[in-house]
Amino acid sequence: MATLQLGPATAMRDVFGQKLLELSKTDPRVYALDGDLGTSTKLDVVEKGNPEKFLQMGIAEQNMIGVAAGMATVGLQPWVCSFATFIVKRALDQIFVTVAQPRLDVKLIGAYSGLLTGLTGKTHQGLEDLAIMRTIPYMVVLAPADAADVCKVMEFANRYEGPVYIRLARDPLPNLFDERTHTFELGKAVQIRDGRDVTLIATGTQTVRSVEAVKRLEERGIDVRLLHMPSIKPIDVESIVAAAEQTGAIVTAEEHTIYGGLGSAVAEVLAEHCPVPMLRVGVKDRNSESGPNDALLKKYEIDMDHIVQAVETMARRKGSLR
């Protein structure tokens, strides 16, 4: 169970590297496949700690997916890691045909997702991965919020037999969940706070920013229900419908394009089950640029202030804020 208290910052990639090293030592099926980005994605932790379970595939994402598919056909569980924009867009055909169609047990890790990719430049930003992966049959799509969430999502993926895509961020984020008590359940949201005025549904990095936004909104007298949605596909239809029925207004927040990601998935549920007013906080239809983190979040209108503004807009529309 989460609270509105944030702990020290931890980078998802650091936790990912250590957890995959652990899995590679405890599960004989687990292998790490690297696209020559191990120092960035932290797959180098496996390379150093368990080198016989580490395969360096070079800058050849399509080939890496084909190798992973072949490994899965003989009972192994390959974990393929590259930057989200590379693994999803460069290797899409291979993922679709060789991994998803036969429902092979391949785990795909999209590192450096979203806008905040350090000094790597705009070509390395990944803002479309959730939308693309969500359309692939049989693909499970997950976006953890913090270090504890990453660990639990990886433990689930290790147990799950079938293709899984996990979206990871580059930079450290404050810890929201306690690893000792936190759990992950496929297709289920985590309710961080109850509220009656507006429901804010966030995923990945935006969950932590939404926690800060909710604190400010609480000071302004807006009672916000906050849901973290780590499972994008399948999505928690029951929690979304309940939130719509009980609060009557929805805002979604994601470090991703507004087209095809969390906002679209939630809108699909609302359209079919309980139409209510809704706003999406995400990157609009425009090319991204490189820059400092705070400047990028503000320019593309996905920082905490824009989350607050969206919730306030919905509260005014309902008459909860004047």
How far is residue 208 from each of residues 2, 226, 260, measured CA to CA in Å? Answer: 11, 11, 21
User: How many Å apart are CA 118 and CA 124, to the nearest integer?
Assistant: 9
Go through 289-298 and write b for each residue having 16 or more CB atoms within 10 A of its CB, e for each that does not.
ebeeeeebbe
Give me the tens of pLDDT residue by residue for the chain, a chain 322 residues long: 455 555 688 999 999 999 999 999 999 999 999 999 999 999 999 999 999 999 999 999 999 999 999 999 999 999 999 999 999 999 999 999 999 999 999 999 999 999 988 677 788 888 999 999 999 999 999 999 999 999 999 999 999 999 999 999 999 999 999 988 999 999 999 999 999 999 999 999 999 999 999 999 999 999 999 999 999 999 999 999 999 999 999 999 999 999 999 999 999 999 999 999 999 999 999 888 888 889 999 999 999 999 999 999 999 998 766 5
**Structural domains of the chain, with CATH:** 9-174 (3.40.50.970), 190-316 (3.40.50.920)
User: How many Å apart are CA 321 and CA 309, to the nearest integer?
Assistant: 12
